[in-house]
Amino acid sequence: MNILERAALTALHRMDPEKAHGLSLSALCSGLVPLPGPVTSPRLATSVAGLLLPNPVGLAAGYDKNAVALPALMRAGFGFIEVGAATPRPQPGNPQPRLFRLTEDRAAINRFGFNNDGAATICARLAMRPRGPVPVGLNLGANKDSTDRAADFGAVLAACGPHVDFATVNVSSPNTERLRDLQGRQALTALLSGVMEVRATLSLSVPVFLKIAPDLSDADLAEIAEVAMESGIAGIVATNTTLSREGLQSAHAGEAGGLSGAPLFQRSTRVLARLSHLTEGRLPLIGVGGISSAEEAYAKVRAGASAVQLYTAMVYEGVGLAARIARDLDRLLEQDGFGNVSEAVGTGRSDWLSG
């Protein structure tokens, strides 16, 4: 991290977290943040569900909820970007304060509640984004007051599908009441069938992923893996934030919401490895949760991830973290004799299954 980035982070950490989040997006949009441009190499370039990625290090949904900073983020070193979540209608989300830094734990707790500008506005911004080598996807959400939340996911895909490279069905946010109930076999089967029907009706070719929670039993994961493989979706994103508070040191540990960051790494990676075992390589997996270094990104890959995403670590390491992880991952792959990151996927899965 350079001196300018460190000074900027110090200033942001003196502000309310949500205000700092907004200011970081404004700084990106203004062009004040130096950006490295695409980071790639023969070892890093890979394909996931038909998406050609310059590198496997992506930006998770939640940072640029409303797709306001895409031109800058596409030059920040990420291999792919996910914006949203978008809901059919705009909604303000939960009352503030709703975002908390847990500095001692290198973590964050949020209870945003799918605050966003709505599908129509977000889709308009996606339609105007620059096209380039970095795929851009949209996290699909449901309105809190919807009478048919399952239908909301299809509605957002219908509106925005022509303007994105992939879409993610998000049934795993803990901040919309009873949303996680949609992870059950019957509800999930119906939901994914509806989304895939919309995709087929509109002749969309975008891969559809499913994002799941880390707080699932082995039996739950087995059901989800089975439904996912039967549904025709492209892959699974593992995982969203956790409701667990185990081992936290921060004074904010008791705040309601989803926990992300370093404490999630072990839990989310075990879920990832279990899914890799259950799907036997038939579905690409994207590993998310607690990544702040190339070593942790590499661990996710070896546990079964074809690509990874990060977000919370940027609160502590800056937006330049993506490029640093990608470059260091390249060196780790070379050190272990891999010609491409795809060769390393799942090579360390057994370590997480036995742990």
Active-site residues, by number, are 173
DSSP state, residue 97? P
Nearest alpha carbon to residue 216 among 206, 227, 202, 201: 227
Tokens of 315: 């609160």
Tokens of 270: 């075990």
CA distance 309 to 268: 12
How would DSSP label each residue in 325-350? HHHHHHHHHHHTT-SSGGGGTTTTHH
E strand or H helix that includes residue 154: helix 149-160
Is there a contact between 137 and 73 (Cβ–Cβ < 8 Å)?
no
| C-alpha neighbours within 13 Å on the C-beta side of residue 282 | 13
CA distance 221 to 60: 21
Report the amino acid identity of residue 279: T
The backbone torsions φ and ψ at residue 37, rounded to the nearest 5 degrees and listed phi first, read 80, -175
Distance of CA 26 to the CA centre of its chain: 21
Is there a contact between 273 and 347 (Cβ–Cβ < 8 Å)?
no
CA distance 136 to 10: 30
CA distance 237 to 309: 9
Instruction: Determine how β-strand 136-140 pairs with β-strand 166-170.
Output: parallel
Find the distance separating the first CA and the last CA of the chain, reported in whole Å: 33
CA distance 198 to 90: 21
CA distance 190 to 168: 16
